[in-house]
């Protein structure tokens, strides 16, 4: 009986020694596959992030050029046309009136120069964001208010981190532009409220308007447009989240939380 037990023990031990390497090899194989998959996913995420940054940069530049084109046509173009009309109406034999028109023309030219300088600053593109998110927001608000259609209120907390994150700033700024474009196109608003805070190591950007609002649940998915989708997508790609609250007749409130810096 003892010999049988010894043989059984030897057999079991032999089987364990034979099987153990197979288990170890299988474990190492699975581990390596998972590690490879994790590395591939990490590379893919980095690729998507860099692609989104490049896309946001391009869109900021496109938005800048649209703003410049509109201002050249609606503002500077009108100032220069008025300058031309004023100069052409000067009658040299009526010196008193001629002097008044010359002075008016000089004032119009100086205003045109001032407007061109502002456009020059806007042409800095990414450099505008590099100045800081708050400065970029203030610039955007300035161009909104110049239309005369909107009253914009901007508040900013005092504890915004001094350390900047250029990539996140660019994405956040692009989200702001996306929301403001939606307000211009769809909201029929007259008042816009923008608030920038820092809460629990997260940057909170809130944009609200007094426009017509909408019922998100009643809009077919294919008609919701890329704007709302991009707000959620871009917040998510930098580790944040976005919420959009709106009701018909009650305006819209967009809030974005981003880990920062």
Distance CA(95)–CA(160), nearest Å, equals 59
Closest CA to 255 of 213, 188, 203: 203
- Quick one: the chain helix, strand, coil %, rounded to 5? 65, 15, 20
Domains of the chain: 1-123 (no CATH), 131-261 (3.30.565.10)
Which 3 state secondary structure label does DSSP give 244? strand
Distance CA(135)–CA(202), nearest Å, equals 19
Residue 140: its pLDDT value, please?
85
Full-prediction pTM beyond 0.75?
A: no
How many degrees, rounded to 5, is the angle at CA 224 between CA 219 and CA 230? Answer: 145
Residue 243: its pLDDT value, please?
92
Please give the average pLDDT of every successive group of 10 residues along the chain, which has 261 residues.
64 74 78 76 71 71 67 71 81 80 82 73 60 84 83 91 84 90 89 94 94 76 62 89 90 94 84
């Amino acid at each position: 009986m003892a010999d049988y037990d010894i043989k059984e023990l030897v057999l079991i031990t032999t089987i364990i020694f034979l099987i153990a390497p197979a288990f170890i090899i299988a474990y190492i194989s699975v581990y390596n596959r998972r590690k490879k998959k994790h590395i591939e996913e990490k590379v893919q995420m980095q690729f998507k992030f860099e692609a989104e940054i490049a896309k946001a940069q391009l869109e900021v530049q496109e938005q800048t050029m649209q703003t410049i084109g509109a201002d050249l046509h609606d503002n500077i173009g009108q100032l220069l046309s008025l300058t031309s009309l004023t100069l052409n109406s000067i009658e040299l034999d009526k010196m008193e009136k001629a002097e008044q028109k010359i002075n008016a023309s000089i004032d119009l030219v100086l205003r045109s120069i001032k407007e061109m300088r502002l456009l020059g600053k806007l042409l800095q593109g990414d450099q505008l964001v590099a100045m800081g998110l708050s400065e970029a927001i203030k610039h955007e608000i300035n161009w909104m208010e110049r239309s005369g259609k909107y009253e914009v209120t901007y508040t900013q907390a005092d504890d915004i981190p001094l350390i900047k994150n250029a990539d996140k700033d660019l994405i956040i700024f692009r989200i702001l532009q996306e929301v403001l474009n939606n307000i211009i196109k769809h909201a029929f608003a007259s008042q816009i409220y923008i608030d920038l805070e820092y809460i629990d190591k997260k940057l909170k950007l809130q944009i609200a308007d007094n426009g017509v609002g909408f019922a998100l649940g009643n809009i077919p998915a294919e008609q919701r447009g890329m704007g709302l989708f991009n707000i959620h997508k871009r917040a998510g790609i930098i580790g944040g989240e976005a919420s959009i609250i709106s009701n018909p007749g009650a305006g819209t409130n967009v809030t974005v939380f981003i880990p920062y810096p």
